Structure 1
Amino acid sequence: MPLLWPVAAWVAGLTLARSDLFSPHYSLLVLLIIACACLYLKKQAAVLLLIMGGLWGAADLMLDARAVAVDESWLSQTMLVTSAVERVERYGAYSRLLVSKVSHSDGSLSNGKALLYMYGKQQFLMRAGQTIEANVSWRLPRNYLNPGSFDYQSWCFDQGIALIGSIRGNVQVLADSQSWLDQLRQRVRLAISAQDSRAAGVLHAILLGDRSQIDTEVNRSFSATGAAHLLAISGMHVGMVASCVFALCWWLLTRREAWIVHLPVRKLALAGGLLAAAAYAVIAGLPIPAQRALFMLSAGVLAWILSSRMQPINTLLTALALILLFDPSALVSLSLWLSFVATAALLLWAGVGREERDDSGWQRLLAALRMLLWISWIATLATLPLIVATFGRIPVYSLPANLLLVPLYGLLVLPLALLAELFAISGLLDVASTLMGLSSLVVEAGISTLQWLVDLPLGELWAVTPPLWLAFLYFAGLMMSGWLLFKGSSQWSAAVMLLALVAYLSFVLSENQINRPTWIVWDVGQGASSALLLPGNRVVVVDAPGRAGSRFNGGTTVAAGLRSLGISHIDTLLLSHAQSDHLGGALSLIQGVNKVTEIWLSDVPSAHDSVAVRLILEEAGKRGISVRWLAKGDTFIGEHYKISILWPPLGFSPANRNNASLVARLELVDKSLLWPGDIERAVERELLDDGIKPVDMMLMPHHGSRTSNHADFIKTLSPALVVAQTGLNNRYGFPDKYVVEAYQAAGAVVKNSSSGTLVLNLAQEDLTGSMSQWNIQRQSRRDMARQWWIEEFKD
């Protein structure tokens, strides 16, 4: 593999320039060390490519930063803007529009794209190709500051998205000039629309690259079984289309002996497959993974035409280098590395041990099945650390799921859907709908199969977040196993592979021990959620917010945060009351950890009558989770702690549902904590009459609203620390400044979770001294580059 060192050096240079793996100063040091190693090994070309990769990565970073740099005038107020709609994604109660050519009424223009969030009936009239005018309030992309949080800022930067906006009022459509491509895509949508919603969501994903309409449970089933790649237009789909058309062209071109003799049949069939794959990707809107897959496919076609013993892997390395040349931001693309790692593993290992087959049809079939099993096993092993690090799951049933669904999609779903797409584009919608219906039947069968696998023991298994060094050790073990297999030591190869797999799984399935009581207040936007970690590995979570239709919410945030801290279970989930900003993400949280032992709910009519609570109870029944209905006077005593329920009375039915919130008091050996939910002043007076005692720390009732937090209540509790759980710059103005001043006057230190997750070590006497806030102190390279351009624009 003569290209291994040069391509590795090129990738290393780009990584040191564009990623935040090392700080800038350490990156220069690492670059120098790699360069010295290359020179020592007499790899001068690699040194040159290392330096060129670093320079090109830095230059491309600055170009990307220029596109997303906007000055603060865009953020100061709601403004009238015009923009061109490129894509519309619908998520339940809201739609998200990707827009470009965003211009302010004063003539200023944003270089980058923007995401616009839209609610109401008018959202269903939006489509790609429109030019719209609307009043929009803007903000910059922001990360939730929690352990394990998705880096949303970096994702927006790499997508060229400069602003996030919320539409205020109605939208005016100034022009509606759909391109020919959008018109073709609309015909395909019409053919899909008649299908069952579950299958329709999948068909939208594999034909049009729109995953927003996939049902949440369907998405969960694909992710849990390691089959999520079937929902993305990437290497597998592009390869399937190319293979089907290649086979068809080969069959047609070999019908006559003269054609076989006089025509380059293989090259023509390969060209036909490549053109069909390109057309498929264009109709899907040329999503970035599809672009990279086309590049990889082109490299594969070239490798086949110029095939020699070791050339395919070198061609693959060349394709990787060229993709990163034209798109350095692909360096952080999961789809790219999943495709590359799986393809490289197959090229290196798939042919090992292949035996000559006789002419028997059964023998050929058995050999093909063995090869399919071997290839699936290699791909599963090679991509395991990438999947665990990205999705947090261990796809236990990935092998059977992919053995069943990949042929199903390759032989039935995709061919039928592509034929339907072709007829829809041609205007024959009746034929297209019939074929789409057949395809959807197979999709439904696949979904049912995956859901059956998920319901099996260990069907949905979560891992704690692994460190980077563990992935390197795992890949080193696989490489050693592969080397031994090439040397003919199959038994030693299997032993090393098994050892690497067992060691990796043992680490990611082992929870960290909790050695000291810790209170964590999460950054979940305009909602509430906190967690109490107690020695003996007892985990109590209070509330999990979420909005209807949202795939990512406070529940997924808390689950990812716990897994990042090495915890994959919850003993008690306390849900204070039936409002979305406190329990809308509870289902996601329950489904995002391996085990929840019990759920605590307020025994009041508003909770019993809530549709959201009913769904939670259904999920609890499926998972064998105990449910406790609590009321004032209930008490729970554990080792070194006591939890008392102070409110509400049994069956309490107030006009304001906030006042039905569970109020819980935690007492440790020398600390006390109050979770007050969203109670308001009427309940605060009741608690004062009941003789509520002072506490060391608490959450602000109702996020710091003036309808709560009465002066007498604050004075009586006199907490040393009080935390407001609010969204950054929220429209309610929480926490109210007068409330903050009242707590400060009572001697409390006031903190806000919007500044980052708060972590308090309750074993120390000084609460504020033991407190840390999970925050990103150092700017990323993307932030520094964007800020540089902002300063340049000011000058």
Structure 2
Amino acid sequence: MLIGIYSVAFVLGVALLLQQPSLPEMYWCALLLLIGLPAGVLIPGESRKIQWAGRLLMLVVAFWAGFFWAALWAHGRLVDTLPLAWEGQDIAVIGVVTEMPQSGSRSIHFRFHVEQVLTPAAIVPDNILLSWYRNDRQADLAPPDITAGERWQLTVRLKRPHGNLNPHVADYSAKLFERDIRAVGYVRIADTNQRIEILARDPRYFFERKRTEIRDAMQSFLKDAPYAGPLIALAVGDQRAIPQAQWNVFTRTGTNHLMAISGLHITLVSGLVFSLIYWLWRRHSGLALWLPASKIAIVAGLVAALIYALLSGFAVPARRAFLMLAILSVTLWWDRRVSLLTVLGWVLLVVTLLDPWAVISPGFWLSFAAVGLIGLTVSGRIGQSGIVISWIRIQWAITLGLLPLLLFLFGQVSLVSPIANAFAIPWMTVAVVPFTLLALIPGLEFMLSIAHTAMQGLMIILQWLAEMPLAVWQQPAPRFWTVVAAVIGMIWLLLPGGFGLGVVAGFPARWLGILAVFPLFLNSPDRPAEGELWLTVLDVGQGLAVAARTRQHNLLFDTGQNYGEIDSGKQIIVPYLRGEGITALDRMIVSHADSDHSGGALSVMTSLSTQSLLGSLEASHPIKQAIADHQHCRAGDDWWWDGVHFAILHPDQSKSSGSKRNRNEFSCVLKITTRHGSVLLPADIGRTSEQELLQRARDTLPATVLIAPHHGSKSSSSAAFVRQVNPTYVIFPVGYRNPFNHPHPEVVNRYREQGARILRSDHDGAILLRLTRHGIAIDTARKLQRRFWHGTVNTTPAMR
């Protein structure tokens, strides 16, 4: 049991390091270890008080050991960095495709290990992420078929890892850091791009090649079958094969863990192989005399588990499951007994030692927490109840025990999860997973049809549960201390002594654990006071999305980009609004139809109740068709919310929507005025519209805060417009190293000469403004959420 406690302390030390804005000097960590480790080990244990003091000191040492270990790895990883001078430059490299490529609608994405840099003086990190885009004008330049284990010579353009950064939204650059991807970029069109050789027999890439082959074969057999994606995910761990609509069903029913190859699936495969080999081996007395059937079955089951884990991509849940099976196999081989929690403690330590960055993954916390809850639930209760009661107890323990983590990580928890998992787990275990895996054996491909039919039956029930009005509980992002209190409360509640079915001998007053959980649900987010305005310019890359809040009302101005398979609404805006406790919009304004301003609108409308829409959109536009209360932006329209004035300044009522070529000039322009300052949002207007505003609404233009027109392009922000607005702060919503070179240096200098303070979403992340009676308060996501892996931002022109 102590190893589990020490392992948790080690992991918490790693987690603390991951919260640091900069890396600590190594000698501080080493000094703590040199002092603490000998003291903890050498303290004698004759006295109980001294023994407890030694354990407490070892706990502290384990914590700092985790911190030191992660810091050591971080220093090593950050050394492998793309120099700023080589961002956006053509570089010729030779390397190997190391993972199963992912195909999109217009590109193919793959991880690439650089073995040799051909461009003189160029420095490239070892591991990079590349995209090879289709050329719509030249069909013969479409990306070739790429498979893991192929060596290629490519000409690439790279940039440092840089993800959008917003409150309540996952940090993409953290995910890249976890995967040891130190640069991202794309393949340039070049005659020298060529496949050099196929490393088919290289053991480092064997399983990745097999994963690709299995995925392609399953896609070919299933063709347009609606549930091909989940079956592929179960076979090779490719979760991106699952359509978003199906992911929503799994998420709302709390069954999404069944779509990840985890301990349940690996244990199932190991158990099936164990049973088969045990049965066959016992039928041959000579073999059984040479080696007992139980031992050869243990080895076969463990090998099967390893193969399946490798085919799944060997993610954290798969690693955890395999290592647990390995330890259990050793104990069974030597006829030893060991507790589940002790095994889990050792595995937790080993996984974190080998890969400290696994702690970044939500799957790490959920996987280990789920098994820990199972161990805590069955501890001291074996034989106390039947199989059915034990199954119900475990299901409720996992559902309740993971609740704090799920709310902290995702802001929601499925209320129908116990019901959905009660039949989904045995259904998947008996019908879907076995037939899916049997279909991987040559000649048994027809088993996929059986697995697909079983999956269809399961989805009918899951979809019905997902559509229930109260299927999911959502709430604002909880405060960290409430999560810690809730976790402690849940552990106390689940300690041996009965769980929900009567109290037996064990820990007393476990019901007090419920009291520690209450603060988690009593989280009431702050709101502006009467007459105040809170405004957030979200970091959506090369696009615009602004959330405005008054005392009782919420407005969203523009909705960011649409990337084809994903969009800013789904990835950024909805998680941010939910994290802030916003579940409905009183009004959405879509300034014009360009995809970098309207791309996320439909996703937002699908996820959040939206009462009304203003926009410069054609009558037939899908966004307008999706809402009953929609109106065109007209200069002169205005309204008051909670002592804050909102006014549309453009376009003029005498004009209709422009053509696709000039619709920027018909963008909605919004002015928000409070007693404490004002904000002007001119969307993508250019100099023509700026001149019109100067002539027609000159006196309304001065503003404290200006969202720069058209992302700071050279065709906007005329000198006369800048002088008239005279902003104290100007915000450029731009993407990192965007291909348009926004904002233009001349425009930036123009605002600087006017005395404005410059803020940029590519440098600062989301920009949070509060116009209150105390003045204007400004914070940025990259200041509040700064982490050591974010690195330095390059301000030179973009990749082209």
Letter in 2 for 1:754: D
Whether 1:98 aligns to 2:111 is yes
What is the CA-CA distance between 1:374 and the residue it aligns to? 1.8
How large is the RMSD of aligned CA atoms in angstroms?
Answer: 3.7
1:507-563 deviation per Cα after TM superposition (whole angstroms, max 9, x unaligned):
3xx433333422222222111111212123x22121121233344636532333344
> 1:763: which partner in 2?
772
Letter in 2 for 1:123: P
Question: Does the CA contact (< 8 Å) of 2:18 and 2:787 recur in 1?
Answer: no
Letter in 2 for 1:394: V
> 2:674: which partner in 1?
668
Whether 1:112 aligns to 2:112 is no
CA distance in 2 between counterparts of 1:661 and 1:89 reads 37
Matches within 5 A, 1:519-598: 519-536=535-552, 538-551=553-566, 553=568, 555-590=570-605, 595-598=608-611
Question: Does the CA contact (< 8 Å) of 2:131 and 2:185 recur in 1?
Answer: yes
> 1:7: which partner in 2?
7
Whether 1:609 aligns to 2:620 is yes
CA distance in 1 between counterparts of 2:209 and 2:374 reads 39
What is the CA-CA distance between 1:16 and the residue it aligns to? 5.5
Whether 1:455 aligns to 2:467 is yes
SS at match of 1:3: helix
Change (3 A) 1:779 1:681: closer
CA distance in 1 between counterparts of 2:210 and 2:373 reads 38
Whether 1:774 aligns to 2:776 is no
1:584-613 deviation per Cα after TM superposition (whole angstroms, max 9, x unaligned):
123444456xx43324132542xx3345x2
1:379-435 deviation per Cα after TM superposition (whole angstroms, max 9, x unaligned):
222222222222222222221222232222211211111111122xxxx4xx41x22
What is the CA-CA distance between 1:356 and the residue it aligns to? 6.5
CA distance in 2 between counterparts of 1:124 and 1:218 reads 30
Letter in 2 for 1:132: W
Identity %: 25
Within the candidate set 678, 681, 685, 2:684 is matched to 678
**Structure 1 stretch 389-398 or stretch 710-719: which is displaced more?**
710-719
CA distance in 1 between counterparts of 2:517 and 2:12 reads 27
Within the candidate set 312, 322, 326, 1:284 is matched to 312
CA distance in 1 between counterparts of 2:163 and 2:213 reads 37
> 2:244: which partner in 1?
216
Question: Does the CA contact (< 8 Å) of 2:734 and 2:762 recur in 1?
Answer: yes
**Structure 1 stretch 209-218 or stretch 582-591: which is displaced more?**
582-591
Question: Does the CA contact (< 8 Å) of 2:664 and 2:686 recur in 1?
Answer: yes
CA distance in 1 between counterparts of 2:264 and 2:567 reads 26
> 1:422: which partner in 2?
441
> 2:658: which partner in 1?
653
What is the CA-CA distance between 1:569 and the residue it aligns to? 4.1
What is the CA-CA distance between 1:241 and the residue it aligns to? 1.6
CA distance in 2 between counterparts of 1:63 and 1:738 reads 40
CA distance in 2 between counterparts of 1:245 and 1:170 reads 49
Change (3 A) 1:252 1:512: farther
SS at match of 1:223: helix
**Structure 1 stretch 79-88 or stretch 296-305: which is displaced more?**
296-305
CA distance in 2 between counterparts of 1:495 and 1:99 reads 53
Change (3 A) 1:644 1:22: closer
1:3-62 deviation per Cα after TM superposition (whole angstroms, max 9, x unaligned):
345434544555566663998499799988998899752337667656655554443333
SS at match of 2:547: strand
**Structure 1 stretch 452-461 or stretch 375-384: which is displaced more?**
452-461
Question: Does the CA contact (< 8 Å) of 1:198 and 1:214 recur in 2?
Answer: no
Change (3 A) 1:683 1:178: same
What is the CA-CA distance between 1:378 and the residue it aligns to? 1.3
CA distance in 2 between counterparts of 1:583 and 1:197 reads 32
SS at match of 2:165: coil
CA distance in 1 between counterparts of 2:166 and 2:255 reads 28
Whether 1:191 aligns to 2:211 is no
CA distance in 1 between counterparts of 2:32 and 2:249 reads 41
Change (3 A) 1:774 1:287: closer
Within the candidate set 135, 146, 168, 2:166 is matched to 146
SS at match of 1:96: strand
CA distance in 1 between counterparts of 2:420 and 2:630 reads 33
> 1:79: which partner in 2?
91
Change (3 A) 1:262 1:76: closer
Unmatched runs of 5 consecutive residues or more in structure 1: 358-366, 788-795
CA distance in 2 between counterparts of 1:391 and 1:129 reads 35
CA distance in 2 between counterparts of 1:539 and 1:265 reads 67
Question: Does the CA contact (< 8 Å) of 2:162 and 2:736 recur in 1?
Answer: no
> 1:237: which partner in 2?
265
SS at match of 2:702: coil
1:270-327 deviation per Cα after TM superposition (whole angstroms, max 9, x unaligned):
3332222212223334445423331122224345566777633212212222223333
Letter in 2 for 1:518: W
What is the CA-CA distance between 1:113 and the residue it aligns to? 0.6
CA distance in 1 between counterparts of 2:90 and 2:219 reads 38
CA distance in 2 between counterparts of 1:251 and 1:626 reads 68
What is the CA-CA distance between 1:142 and the residue it aligns to? 1.8
Within the candidate set 37, 43, 53, 1:41 is matched to 53
Change (3 A) 1:65 1:701: closer
Q: TM-score, normalised by structure 1?
A: 0.84
> 1:175: which partner in 2?
196
Question: Does the CA contact (< 8 Å) of 2:231 and 2:436 recur in 1?
Answer: yes
Question: Does the CA contact (< 8 Å) of 1:521 and 1:529 recur in 2?
Answer: yes
CA distance in 1 between counterparts of 2:718 and 2:50 reads 69
Question: Does the CA contact (< 8 Å) of 2:331 and 2:338 recur in 1?
Answer: no
Within the candidate set 301, 315, 325, 1:297 is matched to 325
Letter in 1 for 2:593: A
SS at match of 1:136: strand
Whether 1:695 aligns to 2:665 is no
CA distance in 1 between counterparts of 2:743 and 2:109 reads 28
- The structure richer in helix per residue is 1
Letter in 1 for 2:729: L
Within the candidate set 376, 385, 391, 2:410 is matched to 391
Within the candidate set 501, 506, 525, 1:511 is matched to 525
Whether 1:315 aligns to 2:343 is yes
SS at match of 2:211: helix
Change (3 A) 1:259 1:318: same
SS at match of 1:82: strand
Letter in 2 for 1:125: D
SS at match of 1:42: helix
Change (3 A) 1:421 1:95: same
SS at match of 1:775: helix
Unmatched runs of 5 consecutive residues or more in structure 2: 41-48, 136-141, 794-800
What is the CA-CA distance between 1:199 and the residue it aligns to? 1.8
What is the CA-CA distance between 1:491 and the residue it aligns to? 12
> 1:736: which partner in 2?
744
Change (3 A) 1:463 1:695: same
Question: Does the CA contact (< 8 Å) of 2:236 and 2:312 recur in 1?
Answer: yes
What is the CA-CA distance between 1:728 and the residue it aligns to? 2.3
CA distance in 1 between counterparts of 2:199 and 2:683 reads 49
How many residues of Structure 1 are paired with residues of Structure 2 in the alignment? 752
Question: Does the CA contact (< 8 Å) of 1:313 and 1:347 recur in 2?
Answer: yes
Question: Does the CA contact (< 8 Å) of 1:103 and 1:109 recur in 2?
Answer: no
What is the CA-CA distance between 1:115 and the residue it aligns to? 0.6
**Structure 1 stretch 737-746 or stretch 209-218: which is displaced more?**
737-746
SS at match of 2:188: strand
What is the CA-CA distance between 1:636 and the residue it aligns to? 2.5
Letter in 2 for 1:246: F
Question: Does the CA contact (< 8 Å) of 2:559 and 2:569 recur in 1?
Answer: yes
1:478-518 deviation per Cα after TM superposition (whole angstroms, max 9, x unaligned):
222233626726997674454444442343xx433333422
What is the CA-CA distance between 1:103 and the residue it aligns to? 3.4
1:201-252 deviation per Cα after TM superposition (whole angstroms, max 9, x unaligned):
2223222222223212222222233222222222222122223323434454
What is the CA-CA distance between 1:147 and the residue it aligns to? 2.1
CA distance in 1 between counterparts of 2:63 and 2:749 reads 56
What is the CA-CA distance between 1:736 and the residue it aligns to? 1.9
What is the CA-CA distance between 1:765 and the residue it aligns to? 7.5
